[in-house]
Amino acid sequence: MRRSIVAAALGVLLAGTASAQTLRVGLIAQDMGTTDPHRASATQDKAPLSWAYSGLMRFPPGSADPAKLEPDLAESFERSADGRILTFRLRSGVRFHDGNPLEGEDVVHSLRRAADRARSAFAGDYRAVTSVELVDPMTVRVTLREPVAGALGLFANYHGGMIVSRRSDAGGQAPGTGPFRMDRAGGGAARMVAFDEHWRGRPAIRTIDLRFITSDATRELAYNSGELDLIIGRREQRWVERMRAQPNTAVEVFAPGEFRTLLISSRTAPLNDARVRRAIQHAVDPGAIARFVGLDVATPWPSPVPPGYLGSTDQVPRYAPDVNRARALMAEAGHPDGVTIRAVVSSNSAQLPIMEVIQAQLRRANIRLEMDVVEHATYHARIRQDLSQLTFYGAARYPVADSYLTQFYHSRSAPGQPTMSLNFAHCSAADAEIDAARAEPDEARQLQLWAEAQRKVLEAACSVPLFDLRQVWVRRASLNLGYRLEGSLNLGPPITHETRME
């Protein structure tokens, strides 16, 4: 009898320990958009998949600084004197989630896949890659057409740099090498489980349960009632201050900012007239919008390239908020009574309130904005169908000017192009400078070309740069991340083998 009581007590203790090492995470979305790391461009996908996949290089947990990149699945690397050839020697003893060892063939497969627009959302990042070759079973050589600024970022634990197995599991999922593997996803939830053969060590967290909750109020309620341990928060100063007052709670505000931009399509009337686009630039007040959000989390910035990116500059043309100037431009363009334009707008709290402010600002200049408010996944689908004349978009990219300029402002990235990315403005004003900068070996000249590209984008009225919005997440103080969180390019706290519930 005594033995059975002891056994029962031990069982309860072990069950409690296992439960304590289950991390419950709340994300904004109806569901995961994809479990493929080479297609994961939406916020709700990027953070979880970064817990399952790794790169040849990595940003140390808690950092988004390219200067701190370090070898990860690669044990070491060499770069040729001209910067065009990178050779990676793989780390031995690394296994994929299916038990197969990491080999050079997996890396070759992954990098070629990342560069294939039919299989990757980030193929444009790899245009300079001319070959990916297997030198020996554990060595891979990559050759670039020309030197690429921040080239190591192409091979880091971010976007196309994620290494996947050349084999798929029974469900068609390509195994990764991260501390957690995706067990299941769908129906507004997902589960990840610890990968005990992770080469850095057995994860302390045993299970990660993901819940996708579009309502900020519902997600906050689930956190406050003890149902969630880690949630993506509202990037609003008052909300941050309120959550900081909650017991057993830590609020993480970290880089990089997700840069908010209003892209102005030149494809259809009346915005095919540059004077109307310029009127929008004068009608929108980014400073007022940043103050509305809260200056602790939002920083106004005048350039098309976010602050902190290599090549970004604030020495660009400024179009100060001026309602009278906006009205005059409208009249000059033949619209003295104003115009009506249409925008597809996400219903989530990171976008809809901002667009309502922009709508009010435009109204003062007699620019009527009709908003088609839809769920976030529908918003993403419709803007890619070129159904929005004004597109509010927030994104964080590898912090080099080329990544932003190419994806948002090169004509090859416009909807309808084979290499479509995020150029919803149909901007082509700086194609020559963007292309020249990518191939320019002289760093000083490269910076000049990027600065000229930013100037031309604004002069063509392709967009209104708004503000840099820092990431906001809330966690239990009892959730020990295992590092100091200063930045994360994957837009969420890294969950590593050392992260634990205490």
Q: What is the DSSP string of 107-141?
A: HHHHHHHHT-TTT-TTGGGGTTEEEEEEEETTEEE
pLDDT of residue 90: 98
Residues of the chain with CATH 3.40.190.10: 19-229+478-502
416: left (phi over 0), alpha (psi -120 to 50) or beta: left
Q: What is the DSSP string of 451-477?
A: HHHHHHHHHTT-EEEEEEEEEEEEEET
Q: Taking CA 75 as the corner, what is the angle to CA 74 and CA 76, rounded to the nearest 5 degrees?
A: 90
Give me the percent of the chain exceeding a pLDDT of 90: 82
Report which of residues 236 and 276 the model is more confident about.
276
Report which of residues 256 and 365 the model is more confident about.
365
pLDDT in tens, 318-373: 999 999 999 999 999 999 999 999 999 999 988 999 999 999 999 999 999 999 99
Report which of residues 20 and 53 the model is more confident about.
53
Distance CA 228, CA 31 (A): 17
* CATH 3.10.105.10 applies to domain 256-470: yes
In the predicted model, what is the mean pLDDT of the chain? Answer: 93
pLDDT of residue 170: 64
Examine the pLDDT at 2 and tell me if it is beyond 80. Answer: no
pLDDT of residue 146: 84
pLDDT in tens, 269-316: 999 999 999 999 999 999 999 999 898 899 899 999 998 788 999 999
Q: What is the DSSP letter of 401?
A: H
For residue 426, give both structure tokens: 């149909």
pLDDT in tens, 21-41: 999 999 999 999 999 999 998
Q: Who's near 160: CB < 8 A, 6+ residues apart? A: 38, 111, 114, 115, 120, 122, 123, 125, 126, 154
Examine the pLDDT at 216 and tell me if it is beyond 60. Answer: yes
Examine the pLDDT at 395 and tell me if it is beyond 70. Answer: yes
297: left (phi over 0), alpha (psi -120 to 50) or beta: alpha
19-229+478-502 has which fold?
Answer: D-Maltodextrin-Binding Protein; domain 2 (3.40.190)
The mean pLDDT value for 160-170 works out to 90
Distance CA 67, CA 293 (A): 30
pLDDT of residue 461: 98
pLDDT of residue 18: 45
Distance CA 501, CA 211 (A): 18
Examine the pLDDT at 7 and tell me if it is beyond 70. Answer: no
Q: What 3-state class would DSSP assign to 480?
A: strand
For residue 246, give both structure tokens: 């909650």
pLDDT of residue 19: 55
Examine the pLDDT at 13 and tell me if it is beyond 60. Answer: no
Q: What is the DSSP string of 21-85?
A: TEEEEEESSSS-S-S-TTT--SHHHHHHHHTT-B-SEEPPTT---GGG-EESSEEEEEE-TTS-E
Backbone angles phi, psi at 256, to 5 degrees: -80, 160
pLDDT of residue 42: 87
Q: What 3-state class would DSSP assign to 421?
A: coil
The mean pLDDT value for 442-466 works out to 95
Are residues 300 and 467 in contact, defined by beta-carbon separation less than 8 angstroms? yes
Q: What 3-state class would DSSP assign to 228?
A: coil
Distance CA 133, CA 354 (A): 47
Residues of the chain with CATH 3.10.105.10: 256-470
Examine the pLDDT at 11 and tell me if it is beyond 50. Answer: no
pLDDT of residue 433: 97
Q: How confident is the model at residue 8 (pLDDT cuts 50, 70, 90)?
A: very low
**Which amino acid does the sequence have at 61?**
P
The mean pLDDT value for 197-208 works out to 98
